């Protein structure tokens, strides 16, 4: 005798637990860093952290205020940003042009790609002595270093972006009667846009790093100069403030690229940078 038992029905999902209203997400996320700062401040106040090792957050806020007040931070940021901007413009233009030449023509590829692949293996930070010999110790070697660091990531990503454009789309465009210039404009360049922006992001990252390296060398101005000078007079607080400023400038650049992505790549289905 087989006894078929009636099925027991249960709710498909466990009922959500009734919870006390949770604090908003941003508040919970912010509480980690705030807690860290509080501990740091406490350790400094208790004397565990000596001020010449790491000054308290409060003291550094004061230093930050002073540096802004006497204009030295603003001045330093202007010279540093100028170096990055110039280096980015020169290196970016170079990387972009070479990538277009290599990506859009076989001749360009044969001429440009091999040397670029060889040069990119050179560690740019190691180029400083060479740049000093070539360009002296003024602004030029610093801008050159930034330009050098920027050109390669941009070149590689734009070139790859052009070469990875969906061939089925290129084919479709050919059946639509697009000639070479129209193909480049309507299919290849838009198709390479995502890669270009990735390259720009890497390039900006390298640019800041190159700036930090370059400004260690006999800088008479800029954030790096601020750090070198502060080290000589044992002002740990200024060193740390300058480092934080570097970090925020890098972050700002990243936000800028993301903004660009959001406007330029809004057509992308996989776009998730909300």
Partner 1 sequence: MATGLQRHLTTAPPAVGPDARTAAPPAARVRGLVRRFGERAVIDHLDLELAHGEFVALLGASGCGKSTLLRVLAGLDPEVEGEAEVAERRAVAFQAPRLMPWKRVWRNVVLGLPGRADRAVADRALAEVGLGHRADAWPKDLSGGEAQRVSLARALVRRPDLLLLDEPFGALDALTRLKAQHLVIDLWRLHRPAVLFVTHDVDEALLLADRALLMADGGIADEVRVGLPRPREVTDPEFGRLRSRLLGGLGVAVPGAADAGPPAP
Q: Which parts of this chain interact with partner 1 (CB under 8 A)?
A: 168-169, 171-178, 182, 186-187, 190-191, 193, 266-269
Question: H helices within 136-235, ranges in order?
Answer: 139-163, 167-175, 180-183, 189-215, 223-232
What are the residues whose beta carbons fall under 8 Å from the beta carbon of 184, sequence distance 6 or more?
104
Shortest Å distance, C-beta 183 to partner 1? 9
125 or 173: whose CB is closer to partner 1? 173
| Beta carbon of residue 190, minimum distance to partner 1 (angstroms, whole number) | 4
Helix (H, G, I), strand (E, B) or coil at 70: coil
CA distance 123 to 21: 53
As measured in angstroms, the least distance from the Cβ of 178 to partner 1 is 5
Nearest-approach distance from CB 110 to partner 1, in angstroms: 23
Shortest CB 187 distance to partner 1, Å: 7
Which are the contacts of 273, defined by CB distance < 8 A and separation ≥ 6? 258, 261, 262
CA distance 191 to 184: 9
Q: How far apart are CA 44 and CA 57, in angstroms?
A: 9
Nearer to partner 1, 32 or 177 (CB): 177
Select 123 or 269, whichever has its Cβ closest to partner 1.
Answer: 269
Structure tokens at 130: 């060479």
Report the residue number, 190 or 250, with the smaller CB distance to partner 1.
190
Q: Which is nearer to partner 1, 24 or 177 (CB)?
A: 177
């Amino acid at each position: 005798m087989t006894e078929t038992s009636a099925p027991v029905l249960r709710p498909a999902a466990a009922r959500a637990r009734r919870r006390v209203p949770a604090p908003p997400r941003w508040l919970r996320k912010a509480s980690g860093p705030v807690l860290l700062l509080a501990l740091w401040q406490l350790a400094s106040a208790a004397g565990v952290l000596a001020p010449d090792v790491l000054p308290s957050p409060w003291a550094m806020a004061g230093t930050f205020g002073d540096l802004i007040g006497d204009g030295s931070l603003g001045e330093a940021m202007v010279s540093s940003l100028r170096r990055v901007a110039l280096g980015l413009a020169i290196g970016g233009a170079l990387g972009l042009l070479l990538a277009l030449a290599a990506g859009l023509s076989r001749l360009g590829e044969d001429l440009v790609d091999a040397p670029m692949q060889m040069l990119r293996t050179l560690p740019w930070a190691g180029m400083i002595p060479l740049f000093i010999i070539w360009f002296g110790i003024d602004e030029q070697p610093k801008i050159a270093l930034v330009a050098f660091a920027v050109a390669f990531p941009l070149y590689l990503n734009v070139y790859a972006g052009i070469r990875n454009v969906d061939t089925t789309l290129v084919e479709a465009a050919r059946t639509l009667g697009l000639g070479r210039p129209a193909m480049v404009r309507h299919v290849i360049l838009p198709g390479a846009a995502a890669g270009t922006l990735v390259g720009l992001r890497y390039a900006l990252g390298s640019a800041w790093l190159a700036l930090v390296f370059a400004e260690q060398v006999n800088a008479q101005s800029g954030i790096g100069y601020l750090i070198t000078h502060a080290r000589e007079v044992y002002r740990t607080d200024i060193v740390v403030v300058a480092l934080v400023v570097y970090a925020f400038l890098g972050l700002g650049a990243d936000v800028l690229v993301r903004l660009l992505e959001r406007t330029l790549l809004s057509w992308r289905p996989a776009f998730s940078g909300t």
